[in-house]
Amino acid sequence: MGTDVDGGVAGVLRAGSRALADLVLPRSCAGCARPGDVLCPACRRRLTRPRLAEPRRHPPGFPPTVAAGAYAGPVRPAVLAFKEHGRAELAGPLGTALALAVCVVLAGAAGPAGAPVLLVPVPSSPAAIRQRGRDHVRELADRAVVELRDAGLDARTAPVLGRLRGRAGRTRDSAGLDAAARRANLSGRFQARPAGHGAWAGVPAGSRLVLVDDVVTSGATLTEGARALAGPGDTPCRDTPVLAAVVAATPRRVHRPFAPPPPGAFTVRGRGGEGADRASTVGTGARRLASG
């Protein structure tokens, strides 16, 4: 217990000192270090290139997943700055990128028109949250929800996925493990909270579930999360196909980029039903990222 408290306080102090540094140090792009924006226009544009995430070994059960861009070049340091180095202000551009990926994966999958959209953050381990002093995936999800609602979608963050007690302390950080080791490490790690849990409050059956994370590499984490959401259990969305969206995906030599939205997509917002709304959202998100 004492260790937990110490870790929590240390995390808060770290976050506080980083916030102070932001006030006194000149701001620079987290991707390319150019002075000025937290993420410069050129780096933002790298997150307007949605693509299907296709892990090299494609684990069985890997959900249909769209990334806003490639986890390469300046996108890597930008995501790491947000995740590991306390650049919390990056939640803005990275959350917008996530919203774009959510729209594209929804547009590409069959589903009930107008159904509420639940963004389900992949839960970080308690140790990771203590160390960072924050839950960065939850921050991304919340920011993406603001963007989606702004564009007219009935979206909300739904922290309905939990970590199984008992196993959490034994699982290792998956960094440095190969794909098979990651699957073994993560097996049985997540569990959907039961329907009576407050996380599902007000969620109608048939809502669309989009699992969200910062990046996808091997696909093991999203596969395990999707399995937990779709598995046996008393939840309102048990029969809803699980989709996934991430800020960035490890690039493949051959990938299938989605066509960018047509210019007209910017003008159809609110006039033409769900498809038009989605196209508009994609356009809005892409435009915000591109314009900074």
Number of CB atoms found within 10 A of residue 41's CB: 14
Report, in Å, the least distance between residue 101 CB and Zn ion: 20
Q: Is residue 68 within 8 Å of residue 33, measured between CB atoms?
A: no
Beta strands 242-249 and 208-216: pairing type? parallel
Report, in Å, the least distance between residue 289 CB and Zn ion: 12
By beta-carbon proximity to Zn ion, the closer residue of 47 and 226 is 47
By beta-carbon proximity to Zn ion, the closer residue of 76 and 238 is 76
Between CA 43 and CA 243 the distance in angstroms is: 26
Report, in Å, the least distance between residue 42 CB and Zn ion: 5
By beta-carbon proximity to Zn ion, the closer residue of 71 and 200 is 71
Q: Is residue 120 within 8 Å of residue 211, measured between CB atoms?
A: yes
**Which amino acid is present at 69?**
G
Radius of gyration of the chain (CA): 19
Dihedral, 265, 266, 267, 269 alpha carbons, nearest 10: 80
- Tell me the two tokens of residue 74: 């300046």
Report, in Å, the least distance between residue 38 CB and Zn ion: 9
By beta-carbon proximity to Zn ion, the closer residue of 34 and 167 is 34
End-to-end CA distance of the chain: 44
* Crossing angle for the helix pair 91-108 and 75-84, to the nearest 10 degrees: 110
**Which amino acid is present at 279?**
A
- Tell me the two tokens of residue 86: 């306390």
Report, in Å, the least distance between residue 39 CB and Zn ion: 6
Report, in Å, the least distance between residue 45 CB and Zn ion: 10
By beta-carbon proximity to Zn ion, the closer residue of 43 and 160 is 43
Collapse the DSSP code of 220 into the 3-class scheme (helix H, G, I; strand E, B; otherwise coil) and give the result.
helix
By beta-carbon proximity to Zn ion, the closer residue of 29 and 99 is 29
By beta-carbon proximity to Zn ion, the closer residue of 29 and 94 is 29
Between CA 194 and CA 14 the distance in angstroms is: 35
Q: Which residues bind Zn ion (CB under 5 A)?
A: 29, 31-32, 40, 43
By beta-carbon proximity to Zn ion, the closer residue of 32 and 127 is 32
Report, in Å, the least distance between residue 25 CB and Zn ion: 17
Q: Cα dihedral sign for 79, 256, 119, 165?
A: negative
Report, in Å, the least distance between residue 93 CB and Zn ion: 10
- Tell me the two tokens of residue 147: 């963007």
